[in-house]
Amino acid sequence: MIIKKFLGKTEEEAVEAAKKELGNGIVIMNVRNVKKKGLAGFFGSKQVEVTVALEEEGDSLKTVRREEPGNESGSGEKPEKNVGTQQNVSGMMSESSQNIEKKLDSLQTLLVSRFGQEEQTKSEQPQQESLPIQNPEEKNGKEDGDEGSREQEKFIRLLYNTMLENEVDEKYANQIIDDAEKNRKPNLPFDYILANVYQKMILKFGKAEGILPAKEGPRTLLFMGPTGVGKTTTIAKIASHYAVEEKKKVALLTADTYRIAAAEQLRTYANILEVPFRVIYTEEELKTAVTDFKDYDYIFIDTAGHSHQNEELLDKMRQLLDAAGEAGEYQTFLVLSATTKYRDLQRIASSYKELADYQLIFTKLDETATLGCLLNLRLYTDTPIAYVTCGQNVPDDIEQFNPQKTVKQLLSTGNRA
């Protein structure tokens, strides 16, 4: 595994430099603003530092394997057993370990601390009598390696249990741990194991394309989902960003004619943003609206929230989506609450998947202490997460999904009461 830092005036510039040197297979592990040291940093502008990782085919494990006891070096001398291997591994990992520690903040401290507590508890319990070792020489040759392997197993088990406590589905937790086990070698530091699991979880989340500009005419954006997940507020947050910060021409439409409060709520946001608002009742009215706002950049459409088991309303949603496709370029987003049970999320996602391909938006992250459902549904649907929200404030309480931040929480033992 290669871990390197790159600087740029913007995050995009730093990432581009990383891709130029390491290729497109990199994983962004951390992003932070930095200043140059000395007077140049005092008077100069800030730079963005991006830490990336790249897992190579052979990885550094090959180097370790060549140095293991029993493999002679070119000089014909055998390295010291275990001790020599540990030194080689430690030297090899020293630089990357420092980066990992900074990147994961206090995550490793939390895990190792808890690991130590478990070991102390076990040591205080009565010990069973161990069988006598008949071959002391065999003991000296294997003891250190076996002990290191046992410690690694305990640490991996701790990571596994932490994922389960954060409500990662057992199926997916096993997949992640199985991947980590494939790269496990004796005497590798915990840093390496932790970084390996961290990287693989980030790769599983992937990256959503988000909202794309249309090649011609406006881009129509439809937001679907059950009642009460916060679709209207989410639309207002995203529309505010594009209208106020991006200076784009935005129009707000609602097809939610079942709840008067929903239409009035979106109308209020439209008035605040000083953007057009319209209620649409039929598919033809949707097409007319897209034509009327042909000079706009984005048209946001709020749809009626309903049970995923209501076939009649699902059929109306299908007709609405067909009309949007006929009118021009469009994208769909399925808005879900992070507080919903995973089994219900599966059913909701499956029913909407029959209507259209979508990107996920999770709301109410501030109302739950565990985020395992985000990873679960990402892997269950093979659908990326575009945005997450964590409150009712418009436009502040929303952000593009950050897999690094979420993985830290999924591996953290300190985010639950």
Q: State which residues form the domain around 388.
A: 219-400
- List of residues 6+ apart from 24 with CB closer than 8 A: none
Residue 181 belongs to some domain of the structure: no
Q: For 310, what's the count of Cα atoms within 13 Å in the CB-facing half-sphere?
A: 12
Q: Between 349 and 125, whose confidence is greater?
A: 349
Q: Between 43 and 151, whose confidence is greater?
A: 151
Q: Which pLDDT tens digit goes with each residue over 365-397?
A: 999 989 999 999 999 999 999 999 988 887 788
Axis-axis angle for helices 190-205, 403-410 (nearest 10): 130
- Of the listed ranges 1-10, 203-212, 357-366, the least confidently predicted one is 1-10
- Of the listed ranges 88-97, 264-273, 288-297, the least confidently predicted one is 88-97
Predicted pLDDT at 114: 53
Residue 298 belongs to some domain of the structure: yes
Q: What band does 109 get if pLDDT is binned at 50, 70 and 90?
A: low
- pLDDT of 364 higher than 90: yes
Residue 342 to residue 173: CA distance in whole angstroms: 15
- pLDDT of 65 higher than 60: no
Residue 102 to residue 32: CA distance in whole angstroms: 11
Residue 140 belongs to some domain of the structure: no
Question: Phi, psi at residue 294, to the nearest 5°?
Answer: -65, -20
Q: Between 145 and 209, whose confidence is greater?
A: 209
- pLDDT of 263 higher than 90: no
- pLDDT of 264 higher than 70: yes
Percent of the chain with pLDDT over 90: 38
Residue 357 to residue 333: CA distance in whole angstroms: 8
Residue 239 belongs to some domain of the structure: yes
Q: How many domains does the chain have?
A: 1
Q: What band does 127 get if pLDDT is binned at 50, 70 and 90?
A: very low
Q: Which of 97-101, 314-318, 341-345 has the highest mean pLDDT?
A: 341-345
Q: What is the CATH number of the domain that holds 298?
A: 3.40.50.300
Residue 24 belongs to some domain of the structure: no
Residue 382 belongs to some domain of the structure: yes
- pLDDT of 77 higher than 80: no
Nearest partner of 21 among 37, 10, 5, 1, judged by Cα: 5
Residue 162 belongs to some domain of the structure: no
| The two three-digit tokens of residue 90, written as one number | 């430690």
Residue 332 to residue 336: CA distance in whole angstroms: 13
Residue 389 belongs to some domain of the structure: yes
Most distant CA pair in the chain: distance in Å?
Answer: 89
Q: What is the mean pLDDT of residues 349-358?
A: 90
Q: Which pLDDT tens digit goes with each residue over 221-233?
A: 999 998 889 899 9
| The two three-digit tokens of residue 72, written as one number | 């002679």
Residue 215 to residue 80: CA distance in whole angstroms: 65
Predicted pLDDT at 52: 75
Question: Across the beta sheet with 27-34, what order do the strands follow?
Answer: 2-8, 47-54, 27-34
